[in-house]
Amino acid sequence: MKTVYERADIVPLLAETFRELGYEGATLSRITERTGIGKGSLYHFFPGGKEEMAGAVLADIDAWFEQAIYRPLRNDDARQAIAAMWVNVNDYFRAGGRICLVGAFALDDTRARFSSEIADYFIRWIEALSSALMRAGCAETEAQTLAEEGVCGIQGALVLSRALRDGKVFTRSLEALGNRLEAATR
């Protein structure tokens, strides 16, 4: 018996490894150890090595946010999409038990490798949220400010809940942020 993978099966496993160990901390041996996938397979699917693996993970994350968060914010009913965002974000980050890889990469030298992907992720999030806020009745400048504060607050909540090892901090922060945005669209 031989377990056969596809690229699409591997990326989520890689994602979890990079999340837990960071880019530099995720060595090839630790990756094979945690994912159960040997070097042979890894380099078969990702000839560009570790950098291509991390790039694939970022692309996967981006695709998920695009369809689950950004697109609804841009196209669907504004209030409904914003409400769904808080729920989906709380689920995605496992109530603070999972970090944002994009944010983590931004903090150290790894940013240099994925500069545009990292910037894009946040720019599009803020723009999509801002668009929804405007459709919900906010003025343009206020929408922009609130969107930035919202995304900012999510990242802070992830850092804080990891530091305090307390998922309640994350969920509580999301609630507070949600209430503030809702109050501003009334």
Q: 45 vs 57, which CB is nearer to its own copies?
A: 57
CB of 44 to its own copies, least distance (A): 26
Residues 6+ away with beta carbon under 8 Å from 13: 34, 35, 37
The first and second tokens of residue 69, run together, are 């968060």
Determine if 132 is a binding residue for its own copies (CB under 8 A): no
Q: How far apart are CA 153 and CA 107, in angstroms?
A: 16
Q: Which stretch binds DNA (CB under 7 A): 44-52, 104-112, 123-131, 176-184?
A: 44-52
Nearer to its own copies, 56 or 147 (CB): 147
24 touches its own copies by CB under 8 A: yes
**Counting contacts by CB under 8 A, is residue 163 touching its own copies?**
yes
**Residue 5 region, left (φ>0) first, then alpha (ψ -120 to 50), else beta?**
beta
Can residue 176 be called a binding residue for its own copies (CB under 8 A)?
A: yes
CA distances from 110 to 62, 144, 151 (A): 17, 28, 21
Judged by CB under 8 A, the residue of 16, 20, 52, 142 near its own copies is 20
CA dihedral (31, 121, 152, 183) positive or negative? negative
Query: Site map for DNA, 12-41, x if CB under 7 A?
Result: --------------xxxxx------xxxxx
Piece in contact with its own copies (CB under 8 A), picked from 1-9, 65-73, 74-82, 162-170:
162-170
Q: In angstroms, what CA-CA distances link 160 with 6, 37, 69, 149, 153?
A: 36, 33, 23, 16, 10
Cα distance between residue 133 and residue 95, in whole Å: 24
Q: Which residues bind DNA (CB under 7 A)?
A: 1-6, 26-30, 37-41, 43-45, 47, 49-51
Q: Which residues bind its own copies (CB under 8 A)?
A: 20-25, 99, 102-104, 106-111, 115, 118-119, 121-123, 145, 148-149, 151-160, 162-165, 169, 172-173, 176
